[in-house]
């Protein structure tokens, strides 16, 4: 449907390589046609998305195809300019899609590209007019010379990702952040590459040791799987998860684990990730509103204590929004504030992390994962970072105890990590 290779690069490109390479065919025609249902659907999908009404994720293979082709409709819309009629946009999208398919073949097939370069193969386009039966021959793609001069790239379905080990060395924080952004983009667009893990990769991770590019403090919500969201391979991300992506009632395990990651494993990037529709934040907001109305919440289990602790963040969110804010608005604001609250906690109560951030050795940023769209909104650093890196905040009890027992490990004159380095 749609004479496209976007969702069928394996069978389509492979079949054409067989035809041109083994059977010796000298011409490939990419043929679109008028009144194409797939292109019409893709154009409508694009227009709906442009108006903010369309779905951003695919619920079926057909929807995935239309969303993929909607990029072609966007290009056609940009070429025609504002105010174009939908029927004219569809007609032009048919033409643009023909050239897009030709470009795909030349970009992702080294054998076809080599044949075209040597003059042993022609790839041209055309449009079949259903009403008259006439074929309009379009010739080469306008970008053919440019594509032929570019570097060969494997099709998305053939690509894979390597695993990181200690032989790769620590990754700079901004490079790690960009990899997370790129991975999330692949996840959202349905072009994920992770998952093909070989025995050799697993053995390398054991033999050489892990070297995660980032540590992520995220929520335990089953709908927010961090490795999947960032299209990551085993060994890429050091994951710390609990309800509400918080340290409030888990400073021992979360802070201690994070210190191990940035010290022993030498990760340079830390991301604190909240998410929309967070149950823990909803519960904390309800707890705050209950206490605000005079009904003191009963703390009879660990969950109650967690919600009461997070309710302070909800209180701050409510005060920032002012009177008249709805509970839903407070929840949304609390999700964002809680991300920064956790970052601030890390900077306040971990001398090791605080010193590395102050020295520019580690970067800590926040983000919010949208459960519906799959997109991660990157929030950057905490607004309080500069102040906190210069502070000497009082430590939680477990940290004070460790400093008393192991003073040399935390001496300002001795910067060596208390954790053994991997071999």
Instruction: Convert the pLDDT of each residue in 70-103 to its tens digit.
Output: 888 899 999 998 888 999 999 999 999 999 899 9
- For the chain, the 3-state helix, strand and coil shares in percent, each to the nearest 5, are 50, 10, 35
SS3 assignment, position 409: helix
Q: For every residue of 17-63, which 3-state class applies, written as one string?
A: HHHHHHCCCCEEEEEEECCCHHHHHHHHHHHHHHCCCCCCCCCCHHH
Mean residue pLDDT of the chain comes to 85
Give residue-wise pLDDT tens across range 2-21.
Answer: 666 654 455 678 889 889 99
How much is the pLDDT for 156?
56
Q: Are strands 269-275 and 237-242 parallel, antiparallel or unpaired?
A: unpaired
CA quadruple 82, 84, 89, 91: dihedral sign: negative
Q: Tell me: the pLDDT tens digits for 339-389?
A: 999 999 999 989 999 999 999 999 999 999 999 999 999 999 999 999 999
H or E element that contains 330: helix 327-349
Tell me the per-residue pLDDT of 279-329, one tens digit each, with 9 for 90 and over. 999 998 998 998 888 887 776 677 777 777 788 999 999 999 999 999 999
160-183 per-residue burial string, b: 16 or more CB within 10 A, e: under 16: ebebbbbeeebbebeebbebbeeb
Q: What is the mean pLDDT of residues 156-180?
A: 86
Tell me which of 104 and 370 has the higher pLDDT: 370
Q: What is the DSSP string of 176-200?
A: HHHHHHHHHHHHHHT---TT---HH
């Amino acid at each position: 449907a749609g004479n496209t290779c976007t969702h069928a690069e394996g069978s389509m490109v492979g079949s054409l390589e067989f035809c041109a390479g083994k059977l010796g065919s000298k011409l490939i025609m990419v043929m679109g046609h008028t009144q194409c249902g797939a292109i019409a659907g893709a154009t409508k999908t694009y227009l709906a998305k442009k108006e903010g009404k369309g779905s951003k994720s695919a619920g079926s293979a057909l929807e995935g195809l239309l969303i993929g082709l909607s990029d072609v409709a966007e290009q056609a819309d940009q070429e025609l300019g504002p105010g174009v009629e939908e029927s004219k946009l569809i007609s032009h999208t048919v033409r643009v899609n023909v050239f897009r398919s030709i470009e795909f073949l030349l970009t992702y097939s080294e054998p076809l590209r080599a044949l075209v370069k040597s003059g042993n193969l022609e790839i041209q386009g055309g449009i079949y007019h259903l009403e008259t039966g006439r074929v309009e021959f379009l010739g080469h793609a306008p970008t053919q010379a440019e594509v032929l001069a570019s570097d060969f790239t494997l099709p998305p379905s053939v690509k894979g990702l390597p695993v990181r080990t200690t032989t790769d060395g620590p990754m700079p924080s901004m490079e790690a952040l960009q990899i997370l952004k790129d991975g999330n983009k692949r996840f959202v667009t349905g072009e994920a590459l992770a998952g093909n893990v070989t025995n050799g990769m697993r053995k390398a991770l054991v033999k050489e040791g892990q070297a995660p590019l980032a540590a992520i403090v995220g929520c335990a919500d089953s709908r927010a799987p961090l490795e999947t969201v960032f299209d990551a391979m085993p060994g890429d991300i050091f994951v710390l998860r609990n309800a509400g992506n918080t340290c409030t009632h888990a400073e021992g395990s979360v802070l201690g684990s994070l210190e191990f990651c940035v010290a022993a494993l030498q990760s340079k990037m830390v991301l604190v990730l909240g998410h929309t529709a967070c149950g823990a934040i909803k519960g904390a907001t309800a707890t705050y509103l209950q206490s605000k109305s005079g009904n003191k919440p009963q703390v009879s289990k660990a969950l109650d204590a967690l919600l009461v602790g997070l309710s302070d963040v909800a209180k701050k969110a409510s005060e920032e929004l002012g009177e008249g804010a709805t509970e839903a608005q407070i929840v949304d604001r609390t999700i964002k504030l809680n991300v920064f609250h956790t970052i601030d906690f890390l900077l306040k109560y971990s001398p090791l992390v605080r010193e590395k951030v102050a020295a520019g050795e580690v970067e800590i940023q926040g983000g919010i994962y949208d459960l519906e769209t799959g997109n991660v909104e990157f929030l950057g650093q905490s607004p309080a970072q500069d102040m906190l890196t210069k502070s000497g905040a009082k430590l939680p009890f477990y940290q004070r105890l460790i400093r008393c027992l192991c003073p040399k490990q935390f001496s300002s004159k001795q910067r060596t990590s208390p954790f053994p380095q991997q071999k």
